[in-house]
Amino acid sequence: MVRTFDAKALFNNEQLEELFFAPARAYATLSVDFAEKLTNAQLDAAKAYTETGLAQVRAFTAVKDVEGLRSYMEGQQKVAKDLTDRMKGDAEKVVALQRDFVAESQKLAEANVKKASDTATKASTAQ
């Protein structure tokens, strides 16, 4: 005797949407939002570092004498401090983005487990 799998008997469209498709869409949306925020943070950082580097090259090419070189070298301490502060801030921003993504992912997972559990409970009591 050959048995065929009857998906309609197991799930209706509403259950498929609620248990599988809606959670998958929610997680995909969360992932895309995280990727967008992370990419924007990286682009902002890259732009800032590039602008700083180019400004330093321009400042160096403007050095014409010993006094100009001394002034340029003294300015490097401020540039180094500013870059260090920027890198620290950028790292903190990425960590915060990742922390938010993990927290939101956990909330989604918990909500989906609860929905599945509730659906299973309803199905077992209906029989």
For residue 21, the one-letter residue type is F
- Give the model's pLDDT for residue 35: 97
Per-residue burial over 104-123, b if 16 or more Cβ lie within 10 Å, else e, is beeeeeeebeeeeeeeeeee
- What distance in Å separates the CA atoms of residue 71 and residue 68, rounded to the nearest whole number? 5
Separation CA 33–CA 101 (nearest Å): 9
* For range 54-68, the mean pLDDT: 96
10 has pLDDT over 60: no
* Residue 120 pLDDT: 73
Answer yes or no: is pLDDT of 9 > 70: no
pLDDT of residue 87: 97
pLDDT tens profile 91-116: 999 999 999 999 999 999 999 888 87
Token duo for residue 119: 């659906």
pTM of the model: 0.74
Element (H, E) at 98: helix 66-126
